[in-house]
Amino acid sequence: MLYRSQFRASAAVARLGTLLLELLLFANISQSQAQDPAAPNDRGERGAQLTIQVLGRAGEPVVGKACLRGEDEKETCSPLDRLGTATFFNLGNTSYFVIVLKDQKQIWADQITISERSGVQSEIVRLPGDPTDASSTVSVRDLAVPERSRRLYEAGTKALHYGKYSQAQKSLQMALSICPNFPRARNALAVAYAKQHDPIGAIEQLEMAVSLDPRFGEAHFNYGSVLMNTGRYADAAAHFARAVDLDFSPDFVTDSLISSEIHANKPDAAVAALQTIHTKRLKHHASLHWQVAKFLDGLGRSQDAGAQYRQYTAEAQ
C-alpha cells in the first residue's frame, strides 16, 4: 500500500520519541475523473483502481473529499462516503499526489505510486492527531546511549519532523557512528531512507533495529510498512502481527495487519487475525470486518462474508 504509506516523524523531538511509518495511505491518482467501476474484463485496458479510506484520530470516518493530481498537474476530486472512502479508476502506472480536504481546507497530503497497471490498491489515510499526545517508550538499550549520540539522534528526528530528510540522514548516521547498537536511531534512519525512496536502505536499518531489540514494536510496524510498499505482503503481515503481539498502537496497526493479509490473498489469515484482535481485546475499527467481508465476497465465500458483515454492523452501531 504505499509508496504509499508514509512515515511519521517523532512528536517528541526533544526526547526519544515514536517514529511511525504509517502505512495507510494515500495517493494520488489519475488525471481522469472518478468513474463507474470497470468491468473485470476491461480493467486491464482501463488501468488501475485506487480506493482511499480517510480516518480521523479516533478511527472515525472523515467527511470531506479526496483529490488526486497527476504528473500533468490535472486534478480530479471525489467526495468521501459515509465510511470515509473514495474510489478512483483508470489510473496509469505512475505517481500521483493525493489531497484530503475538509470544509474546503487541506488537512492531509502525500504521494503514492501505482505499481500495477491493472491492479486494485486500497489505502487507509489516518489523519495525524495532536503530536503532544504521543507516548514514547525507551528501551534498556537506549538508556546506555552516549550523550553525544543521543543529541545527534534528537537532531535527526527533529529534521525528520520538518521534512529535512537528507539532513536527518546525516545526523542519524553520525549518531550511529558513535553508538552502532542504537535501535531507535536505526529505526529513524530507516524513516529517512524511506522518505527518500530508498526501501533497500530502510529495510537494512529496520532489520538491524529489530535484531538489536526484538520487542521494538515501532520498528516491526515500520518494517511491515516498507515491505508492504515493495509488494512483500506476506512478509509485511508477519511484522504487523508481531507489532500487534507487542501491543504497539493496535488502533492502527490492526488496520495494516488486515490490509496486508488481504493484499497477500490470504482470506483465512485475515479472518484469523480478526479473531486474534478480538481475543486480545485490541482497539480496532469496525470497518476492518467490512473490508474482510468484501474480500471474502469476491472469493465466493458468501457465508463467511455474511458473518463479517454482521460483525461490522454490530460494531458500527
pLDDT tens profile 196-246: 999 999 999 999 999 998 888 899 999 999 999 999 999 999 999 998 888
Interatomic CA distance for residues 32 and 68, integer angstroms:
9
- How high is the pLDDT of residue 221? 92
Q: How far apart are CA 262 and CA 266, in angstroms?
A: 6
**pLDDT exceeds cutoff 60 at 23:** no
The pLDDT assigned to 117 comes to: 67
Provide the pairing of β-strand 65-69 with 95-102: antiparallel
The arithmetic mean of pLDDT across residues 249-254, rounded, is 73
Choose the CATH number for 6-18+134-221 among 1.25.40.10, 3.60.21.10, 3.40.50.720, 3.40.50.2000. 1.25.40.10
pLDDT confidence band for 152 (50 / 70 / 90)? very high
How would residue 33 be classed by pLDDT, with cut points 50, 70 and 90?
very low
Burial class (CB in 10 A: 0-12, 13-18, 19+), 174: middle
Question: How much of the chain, in percent, has pLDDT values that exceed 90?
Answer: 40
CATH fold of the domain at 43-126: Immunoglobulin-like (2.60.40)
| Span 167-187, average pLDDT | 93
293-314 per-position pLDDT tens digit? 999 999 999 999 999 999 999 9
Share of the chain above pLDDT 70, in %: 78
- Asked if the model's pLDDT at residue 269 lies above 50, the reply is yes
Band (pLDDT 50/70/90 cuts) for residue 25 is: very low
In terms of pLDDT, which residue wins out, 97 or 4?
97
In angstroms, rounded to a whole number, what is the distance separating the alpha carbons of residues 303 and 289? 14
Could you report the per-residue pLDDT of 94-135, keeping only the tens digit for each? 778 788 888 878 787 776 777 666 678 877 777 765 333 333
